[in-house]
Chains A and B, each alone.
Chain A
Amino acid sequence: MEFVERFKKSFNIEWVKLELLKTAYGKKETYMGQLDPRVIMIWYLIVSLLPWFTFNFVILIGLAIYTSVLALITRVSPLIIFLLAIGVIGELGYIFLVVFFMGGDFEAYASLITLTLKIIIMSIASIAAFASMDPEKLSDALLSFGVPAQFSFAVSYGYRMLPILMDEYQQIIQSFRLRGKAPEKAGFLKWKLVYYYVVIVIKAFYPMMLNTAKRTRTTVEALEVRGFSYSLHSEEAKKQKLSHLKIKGKEYQFIASSCVILTIIHVAGHLYYI
């Protein structure tokens, strides 16, 4: 069964880990990735909010194409495209199916497509903006927008701890399997096997929680020693941290071209209203 195969693959943690590390640590020298993260975030806010103020089909199509092109330029990883596709297709197919059962007609589909387009524009815009953005840059941008430093620290800490936590969780699961016993018969739909894995996944969190607690204690103590809590109240520290963010020619270029394109889309929408 495909479900079990994928399930097993998901728990082939080596595979998952590699994919994740590729996504998280892969070099991101794309067009959007090089721009100042603050500019990107503002761009994202505008582009993802715009569709909600219109029911104009042409404008929506235009926005969808615009964001898709930008997403293509940023070379999004296949894993992400896969996840997004599954999500959107699942959602869509599901709604279509139910509307069909409820006796809806074409009208219903048409207005549904408008809604779906809005959601799709939002998610493509977020992919274009964030998929290629270094989490470090994102956390700097958030910091400069006034999000608490704890959050931006958490971003880079998560980035750092990801491989360690995964290794540890993997080893605990292996410990369970090394001393456990898989069911001999898989049962209907392999439910026994699935149950066996699910129980391990849950039980593994008992040791995982305790081990992580131990780890956390040293980390927080070290944070204190390394001046993190000092930096929370220091304007100077924040200034230094953000000193590398600068808006230069490339950013101005991007802002100008975005404005032009968005204006063209809107003008076109009013001229060729469907």
Chain B
Amino acid sequence: MGMQRNEYTQSQKMMVFILSMSLFGLANLFTELLPEFTIGPVELSISYLAFIPLTLVMLFNPWYAAFGASVGEIIFGDLLLGDFGGLGELEGFIEFTMAMYIAGLLVTNLNSRKQIAIAAIVGVMIDQMLSTVVDVGKVWFGIEELEAVPGLPASILAIEGVSFVTEMVISGVLFGLIPALYLIPKLYGKIEPLLGIEPREGRVKASMTEWVSVRFVIIAVFLMFVAMISEFMATMDINFAVWEPEFLEQFGEGYIWLPISAAAVIFVTVVIAAVKFSKSRNSTKSRKSA
């Protein structure tokens, strides 16, 4: 068996934590200072260099790497810049740690570029979904009689939708998936010995039960996302199930379906692919052991 996460010694955990914290913290210093680029209503900014935590959660114990990255973000990107958001940081901390942790668990074979790619996208997507849920929740909670204000719920959804898509493209693909695919094969087997840790092996890392729980979490996040959005839409008198013609005519509401359905399609594909992977791997494994 490869290195299981519970086989890490206390000091190895600390090393992964410090490594992840330093690197992602450093990256955050720069992204904090980078300018934002606005074309019309679309805002393009590099909100984080996701490839760093993605790479580390896949190469090392996902929990300590994910946790370290989140801590690094808070310390370097916020605290040392004097820009510590207090409670506001907590939500990002939980979302991001969880998302990266799951991304790390998804990968069981570091030689498979497909798996790396899926895990990277799913990781960033979970983070973005959670933050959308929280953002929508804030508006809900923060505005009195939300439904009384025409146009507002739709606007908020549109904004969140656009930001979801741009984040997926910029942070997820350009600064997540692509660099991770470049870095992981180069670092795999090379960086671990520097910390005195055995490289994660190509064979199955997590047991089937663990797999179920990972899938469960992903589905839960997705359902939460869908539930929140549909509840929110209910407040603006849009029936989730009925696709009204005049609804389509309205640019705003129609617009919002774009990212959501895109996300749903991607998500379903990912889950199916992931399940297939685990099955095929398990069957090869059982063949081997037979």
Residues of A within 8 A of B (CB): 2-3, 6-7, 10, 16, 20, 23-24, 44-45, 48-49, 52, 55, 76-77, 79-80, 83-84, 86, 90, 94-95, 97-99, 101-105, 107-108, 111-112, 114-115, 118-119, 122-123, 125-127, 129-132, 135, 138, 150-151, 154-155, 157-159, 161-162, 165-166, 169, 201-203, 205-206, 208-210, 212-214, 216-217, 219-221, 223-224, 229
Q: Which of B19-27, B216-224, B261-269, B279-287 touches A?
A: B19-27
Q: How far is the CB of A48 from the nearest CB of chain B, in Å? A: 6
Q: Which residues of chain B have C-beta atoms less than 8 A from A205's C-beta? A: 23, 27, 49, 51-52, 179, 183
Task: Summarize A's interface: helix, strand, loop or mixed.
Answer: helix
Which residue of the partner chain A has the closest CB to B187?
A209
Using known A-B contacts A48-B87, A112-B143, A229-B10, determine if residue A158 contacts B32 with beta carbons closer than 8 Å.
no
Q: How far is the CB of B251 from the nearest CB of chain A, in Å? A: 8
A155 lies within 8 A of B75 (CB): yes
Q: Which residues of chain A have C-beta atoms less than 8 A from B23's C-beta? A: 205, 208-209, 212
Q: CA of A45 to CA of B87 in the docked complex: distance in angstroms?
A: 8
Using known A-B contacts A125-B86, A138-B79, determine if residue A150 contacts B17 with beta carbons closer than 8 Å.
yes
A220 lies within 8 A of B11 (CB): yes
Interface string of B71-106 (1 = CB under 8 A from A): 110011001111111111000000000000000000
Q: Which residues of chain B have C-beta atoms less than 8 A from A130's C-beta? A: 79, 82, 84, 86
Q: When A and B form their complex, which 6 residue pairs have the shortest distance between CB atoms, in order from nearest?
A: A104-B151, A102-B151, A130-B84, A158-B75, A126-B86, A131-B82
CB-defined A-B contacts under 8 Å, sample of 29: A3-B35, A10-B33, A23-B81, A45-B87, A49-B87, A52-B141, A79-B81, A94-B43, A95-B155, A102-B158, A108-B149, A108-B152, A111-B145, A111-B146, A114-B144, A122-B85, A123-B85, A126-B86, A154-B75, A158-B80, A159-B75, A165-B25, A202-B175, A202-B179, A205-B183, A213-B191, A213-B195, A216-B22, A229-B10
Q: Which of A2, A98, A103, A206 contacts B187 (CB 8 A)?
A: A206
Q: Which of B22, B37, B142 contacts A161 (CB 8 A)?
A: B22
**Other 4 A-B pairs with CB < 8 A, given A119-B142, A126-B88:** A23-B81, A111-B146, A114-B142, A158-B76
